[in-house]
Homo-oligomer: A and B are copies of this chain.
Amino acid sequence: MPNPTAAMLVIGDEILSGRTRDSNLHHLARELSGAGIDLREARVVGDRHRAIVLALRALSVTHDHVFTSGGIGPTHDDITADAVAEAMGVAISHNPEALARLEVHYRQQGRPFNEARRRMARIPDGATLIDNPISAAPGFTIGNVHVLAGVPTIFEAMLASVLPLLTGGTPLLSQTLQVNRGEGEVAEAFGRLAAEFPDLSMGSYPFAHQGAIGTNLVIRGTDRARLAEAMMRLTRLFG
């Protein structure tokens, strides 16, 4: 059976304006590879309702899972939950369990649980909450969409709690052979090898380090034996 597929939607003006460098995509990519879920596409959109809705609709019908990051805080630019509700065709309201968690959190902190903070309990109807062990405000899963916070420590904690609940596939394995030659000198034979192993993905990544150039030849796949066979052939060619 092929591995489940996934897409990511990064939400936030701060990424597209260059203020903030996204790190959640890279983290998600590594975690999904390990879980045997194929990340096929990622998109980044700003804090614009229509753009979020359209991207969510496009990604959720074409992938088994969609992970979003960003836009679930207490301020006016946090519009992800409303956009997710519209994209999934459900209503949105204050979730009693989310309200209860936030109330406890702010009481313990001695900070006011005001209207803005209550906003973080607005969750699409029918969603399941995702724990936030850092700042209480939960993420949520509705249908095949998993809505996580944008702050990397919270994104990572939420992903750690949602990922074990998903049915994964065979982890993506990867092996690398580093050669001291330019890409153009290994390309032909490497391409022939790749054509012989259509079930594996082979990529080449040139590098320059202290004046020396070289290429990392990477083979990825889910079948350990096939990967070993291809690596043996690769090593014979260029090792």
Using a CB–CB cutoff of 8 Å, the interface residues on chain A facing chain B are 12-23, 25-26, 28-33, 39-47, 51, 73-77, 106, 111-112, 114-117, 119-120, 151, 172, 174, 182-188, 190-191, 194-195, 201-206, 218, 220
State which of B76, B194, B206 has its C-beta within 8 Å of the C-beta of A202: B76
Cβ–Cβ contact A203 & B41, under 8 A: no
Q: Which residues of B contact A220 (CB under 8 A)?
A: 13, 17
C-alpha gap A14/B205 in the complex (Å): 9
Q: Looking across the interface, which residue of chain B has its beta carbon closest to that of A186?
A: B75
Q: Which residues of B contact A76 (CB under 8 A)?
A: 187, 190-191, 194-195, 202
Q: Which residues of B contact A195 (CB under 8 A)?
A: 76
Cβ–Cβ contact A18 & B13, under 8 A: no
Copies of chain A in the complex: 2
* Secondary structure call for the A interface: mixed
Cβ–Cβ contact A33 & B17, under 8 A: yes
CB A153 to nearest CB in B, in angstroms, measures 8
Q: Which residues of B contact A41 (CB under 8 A)?
A: 16, 43-46, 51
Q: Chain B CB within 10 Å — which of A22, A26, A182, A186 has the most?
A: A182
Q: List 25 A-B contacts (CB under 8 A).
A: A13-B201, A13-B203, A14-B203, A15-B25, A16-B29, A17-B29, A17-B220, A21-B23, A21-B26, A40-B45, A40-B46, A41-B43, A41-B44, A41-B46, A47-B201, A73-B206, A75-B183, A75-B191, A75-B204, A76-B195, A77-B203, A77-B204, A111-B182, A114-B185, A116-B191
C-alpha gap A112/B77 in the complex (Å): 55
Cβ–Cβ contact B116 & A203, under 8 A: no
Q: Which residues of B contact A106 (CB under 8 A)?
A: 184
CB A124 to nearest CB in B, in angstroms, measures 21
C-alpha gap A204/B25 in the complex (Å): 21
Cβ–Cβ contact B22 & A25, under 8 A: yes
